[in-house]
A = this chain, B = another copy of it.
Amino acid sequence: MKVLNTVGQRVPMHDAATKVTGQAQFTDDLALPGMLYGKLVRSTIPHGRIVSIDVSRAKALPGVKGVITGKDIPDRVYGIVPKAKDEHALARDKVHYIGDAVAAVVAVDKEIAEEAARLVHVEYEPIPAVFDPLDAIKEGAPLIHDNLKTNISASIHKEFGDVEKGFAASDYVFEDTFFSQAVNHAPIEPHAALAAYDLQNGDLTIWSCTQIPYFLKRNLATTLLVPENKIRVIKPKVGGGFGQKIDMYAKDFCACWFAKELGRPVKFLYEREEVFQSTRQRHPMYLTVKTGVNKAGKILAQKITAYADGGAYNSTAPLMITLSCFFIMIPYRIENLIYEGYHVYTNKPVGGAMRGHGIPQARFAIERQIDLIAKRIGVDAAEMRVINAIRAGMPHPAGFIINTCGFADSVTEAAKAIGWKEKRGKLPFGRGVGLAGASFPSGVANMAHLASGAVVQLSREGRVSILSGAADIGQGAETVICQIVAEQIGVPMEDVHITAADTGTCPLDAGTFGSGVTVRAGNAALLAANDVRDQLFSFVADRLKCKPDDLMTANRRIWVKGNPDAGMSLSDALFEYQYSNRPLPIVGRGGWIPPAEQPTSLLTKNGNFSPNYSFMTQAAEVEVDLELGKVKVVKMVTVHDCGQPINPMLVEGQLEGSIMGGMGQALYEDSTCIEGQQYNPSFLDYGFPTVMEMPEMGALHIDTDDPVGPFGAKEAGEGTQLAPAPAIVNAIADAIGVEFNRLPVTPQVVLEALKKNADKS
């Protein structure tokens, strides 16, 4: 690993102390003079027409300042993908799920707003509802969106090579079906928005816990009918996003709408129940995987069919189903492949981007099936992964350019670290090991119009101030950007400060999704820092009578390469600059877009999907309590090729969070929805794993040095979320001989399976 002065170091997050001391300001910590409080009225039925809404009692309540319904606002829909926008801030004619917003109120305090929301009376005409995608695609199923003739709102069909020929050439062909459940992001910070409107200039300012300020700005502009340059989105501290804060929500629209109408600041804060019910969740997905292999375990053809339960709206639908498809194509090299994926509406909470975004479900199916096949044909499951591994420089069916790839090594190392040879199939009943592999892009390369920019200023007393559009949602993006800039300007971290994710003052950035921040915004910051260095060096070179290219900088000092004594302190250089009558402030600008030749445009064409790709294998050891059915993850090892980590400690934080997320997916979490009604929308009832459940964790790094990422970095945010769940379920199979193809594997499920097996024998 590259360990420089700041880059490659285990630097604590720059805002850690303000967070742990409670000084950091999240959206709900903000208050403005004269602020009003909003509350949404939500549908109590899963599917129906709105017959009438009586707001008279709510409006009459003293302290209420405004009540609106879907009829009071422009008939404009929003969403992530332009052609798939389908959601009104407030439902117009129909409600599509329990939790759909139908009206909004604002009042002088929270309590009055809540009371007013209760006083809004909505009369519905119920319509038959449908709750499963496999039902929803049946002929005669209730149509959820009137403008479509089907409940399939997005689909993808991709074919490479000749699958039938591949199956024909195979020694074995297997077909298995898998199901991955609804999982909620459950960020610790509930969703909030605060908006203020300037009557004079028509300027709207919104503080919102968003992962993509620029997307929110755009969606607000098109739904509020306000020009985009009149909207300023500021992201305060965000307490976790995991994809759930990519979307715009009713809170954002309504805060802005009322602020504009009333000329007073307005805040909306979701209850935890609303976060579960009315934001986003991971798409439940059915996958059927048909795979042909030769005797050695080499995959010769694969056909995948996927049905994703999208719930009531599209959100990212076309993107999600595309990602699910494209990332079937790594980390294994499969020349003959068909993927058919469908995003299906149901009358349920809405699916959206969530860490891994459509891929964890697919990865669960693929990695589970590899274990199943390996067992069936008598090949070692780890070995089978190595045999099929894609390698750097290999041509890729979809045109991905794999410059660096540590995948095969990661399998071998993970197996070694978990004790594969000694343990796999050899531990006492109830104990087992398993592994799974994955790969992930470092953002997408097809959004040239959403380049990342950075502006870096170096003040006369040596303070470095960065403006970046990147949205830190708790993962440490700001810290990584500061490290890169500190390294290039040659100052310690404490000299570097960042203002980010404020569309009013920061340059454009594509936002925090798809794990592209480090590569994209990191490169932009690197270039801006280099621009600062160039300006500084051109002045210092005059003083030191050398060429700018001969200069080096580190530790607040600048010197001539190879001659450390011929130098000056940064402080002296800035002082001399100050008194040299050069009034120009030192300001660097940088911008970066992936060096792509118009690759996967519209997200469906082939091409180099991402600037680069990370690879990883995770191996788990589990212990099954045979009496209680409870699975304990004893140990989890991650072997990771994320290029050169800018901050190994933050990478570990991502790994640990991924393991927690994977354990949740595998064993604990299930956002239970019966007849459209959620039954566990609270932290207590939902029951994600806590620190008490965390296993012993180990992390190993496969050293690759990517030519595109800043300092050789690749993504480390989402890839590691993909493999833990199949690794755990693979380990359970090793422990108790039961093959689970449906998530989550709860104690009840385990006990039932054990009982069934006992009955059989």
CB–CB A229/B32 < 8 A: no
In the complex the two chains form, what is the Cα distance from A579 to B451 in whole Å?
A: 10
In the complex the two chains form, what is the Cα distance from A203 to B496 in whole Å?
A: 11
CB–CB A589/B579 < 8 A: no
The verdict on A229 contacting B449 (CB below 8 Å), with A200-B12, A504-B497 known, is: no
CB–CB A457/B507 < 8 A: yes
What residues on B are CB-neighbors of A201 within 8 Å?
Answer: 14, 17, 493-494
What residues on B are CB-neighbors of A499 within 8 Å?
Answer: 504-505
CB–CB B581/A591 < 8 A: no
CB distance from A268 to the nearest CB of B (A): 18
CB–CB A451/B583 < 8 A: yes
Say if the beta carbon of A33 comes within 8 Å of chain B: yes
The verdict on A589 contacting B584 (CB below 8 Å), with A31-B31, A198-B17 known, is: yes
In the complex the two chains form, what is the Cα distance from A455 to B18 in whole Å?
A: 29
The 8 Å CB contact of A585, one of B264, B459, B591, is B591
In the complex the two chains form, what is the Cα distance from A587 to B21 in whole Å?
A: 36
Report the nearest B residue to A203, measured CB to CB.
B497
Report the nearest B residue to A590, measured CB to CB.
B584
Say if the beta carbon of A202 comes within 8 Å of chain B: yes
CB–CB B505/A16 < 8 A: no
What residues on B are CB-neighbors of A29 within 8 Å?
Answer: 33
What residues on B are CB-neighbors of A17 within 8 Å?
Answer: 198-201
| Listed stretches A329-337, A460-468, A741-749; interface member | A460-468
What residues on B are CB-neighbors of A228 within 8 Å?
Answer: 461
CB–CB A589/B585 < 8 A: yes
In the complex the two chains form, what is the Cα distance from A507 to B495 in whole Å?
A: 16
In the complex the two chains form, what is the Cα distance from A579 to B448 in whole Å?
A: 7
The verdict on A25 contacting B33 (CB below 8 Å), with A585-B591, A593-B581 known, is: yes
What residues on B are CB-neighbors of A18 within 8 Å?
Answer: 198, 200
CB–CB A25/B32 < 8 A: yes
The 8 Å CB contact of A33, one of B23, B508, B592, is B23
Say if the beta carbon of A62 comes within 8 Å of chain B: no
The 8 Å CB contact of A589, one of B33, B454, B467, B587, is B587
What does the 1/0 interface line of A429-467 toward B look like (CB < 8 Å)? 000000000000000000011011111010111110101
CB distance from A616 to the nearest CB of B (A): 29
In the complex the two chains form, what is the Cα distance from A22 to B33 in whole Å?
A: 7
CB–CB A585/B25 < 8 A: no
In the complex the two chains form, what is the Cα distance from A504 to B465 in whole Å?
A: 7
What residues on B are CB-neighbors of A449 within 8 Å?
Answer: 578-579
CB–CB B21/A263 < 8 A: yes
CB–CB A585/B460 < 8 A: no
CB–CB A196/B23 < 8 A: yes
Report the nearest B residue to A454, measured CB to CB.
B585
Say if the beta carbon of A562 comes within 8 Å of chain B: no
CB distance from A58 to the nearest CB of B (A): 25
**Chain A residues within 8 Å of chain B by Cβ, number:** 70
In the complex the two chains form, what is the Cα distance from A24 to B33 in whole Å?
A: 8
What residues on B are CB-neighbors of A227 within 8 Å?
Answer: 461
In the complex the two chains form, what is the Cα distance from A457 to B201 in whole Å?
A: 19
What residues on B are CB-neighbors of A448 within 8 Å?
Answer: 579, 581
What residues on B are CB-neighbors of A33 within 8 Å?
Answer: 22-25, 29
Report the nearest B residue to A26, measured CB to CB.
B33
In the complex the two chains form, what is the Cα distance from A124 to B731 in whole Å?
A: 79
Say if the beta carbon of A349 comes within 8 Å of chain B: no
Say if the beta carbon of A664 comes within 8 Å of chain B: no
Say if the beta carbon of A418 comes within 8 Å of chain B: no
The verdict on A460 contacting B508 (CB below 8 Å), with A453-B583, A584-B453, A585-B455 known, is: yes
Say if the beta carbon of A140 comes within 8 Å of chain B: no
The 8 Å CB contact of A34, one of B22, B467, B507, is B22
What residues on B are CB-neighbors of A265 within 8 Å?
Answer: 23
In the complex the two chains form, what is the Cα distance from A34 to B23 in whole Å?
A: 7
CB distance from A754 to the nearest CB of B (A): 50
What residues on B are CB-neighbors of A578 within 8 Å?
Answer: 449
What residues on B are CB-neighbors of A584 within 8 Å?
Answer: 453, 589-591
Say if the beta carbon of A526 comes within 8 Å of chain B: no
The 8 Å CB contact of A467, one of B16, B24, B230, B505, is B505
Say if the beta carbon of A524 comes within 8 Å of chain B: yes
8 Å CB interface, A555-592 against B: 578-579, 581-585, 587, 589-592
CB distance from A734 to the nearest CB of B (A): 44
In the complex the two chains form, what is the Cα distance from A32 to B29 in whole Å?
A: 8
Report the nearest B residue to A574, measured CB to CB.
B229
Report the nearest B residue to A29, measured CB to CB.
B33
What residues on B are CB-neighbors of A21 within 8 Å?
Answer: 34, 199, 263-264
What residues on B are CB-neighbors of A229 within 8 Å?
Answer: 459, 461-463, 495
What residues on B are CB-neighbors of A579 within 8 Å?
Answer: 448-449
Interface centre among A18, A579, A582, A590 (most CB of B within 10 A): A18
What residues on B are CB-neighbors of A591 within 8 Å?
Answer: 582-585
CB distance from A246 to the nearest CB of B (A): 20
Report the nearest B residue to A586, measured CB to CB.
B589
The verdict on A524 contacting B200 (CB below 8 Å), with A457-B455, A459-B508 known, is: no
CB distance from A453 to the nearest CB of B (A): 4
CB distance from A357 to the nearest CB of B (A): 25
CB distance from A339 to the nearest CB of B (A): 30
In the complex the two chains form, what is the Cα distance from A454 to B685 in whole Å?
A: 54
8 Å CB interface, A321-335 against B: none
Report the nearest B residue to A218, measured CB to CB.
B461
CB distance from A471 to the nearest CB of B (A): 16
CB distance from A486 to the nearest CB of B (A): 12
In the complex the two chains form, what is the Cα distance from A199 to B18 in whole Å?
A: 8
In the complex the two chains form, what is the Cα distance from A451 to B585 in whole Å?
A: 9
8 Å CB interface, A500-530 against B: 503-505, 507-508, 524
CB distance from A354 to the nearest CB of B (A): 29
In the complex the two chains form, what is the Cα distance from A495 to B17 in whole Å?
A: 37
Report the nearest B residue to A230, measured CB to CB.
B494
The verdict on A494 contacting B202 (CB below 8 Å), with A462-B229, A505-B499, A508-B460 known, is: yes
What residues on B are CB-neighbors of A12 within 8 Å?
Answer: 200
CB–CB B34/A465 < 8 A: no
CB–CB B593/A583 < 8 A: yes
CB–CB B508/A585 < 8 A: yes
What does the 1/0 interface line of A584-609 toward B look like (CB < 8 Å)? 11010111110000000000000000
Report the nearest B residue to A507, measured CB to CB.
B585
Chosen A-B contacts, 14 in total, with CB atoms closer than 8 Å, are A17-B201, A23-B32, A23-B33, A24-B33, A25-B33, A201-B493, A201-B494, A227-B461, A229-B463, A453-B585, A455-B457, A459-B507, A460-B508, A583-B592
In addition to A17-B199, A24-B33, A229-B461, 4 A-B residue pairs with Cβ atoms within 8 Å of each other are: A18-B198, A25-B33, A455-B457, A460-B508
For the complex of A and B, list the 3 residue pairs with the smallest distance between their C-beta atoms, beginning with the closest. A583-B591, A17-B200, A453-B585
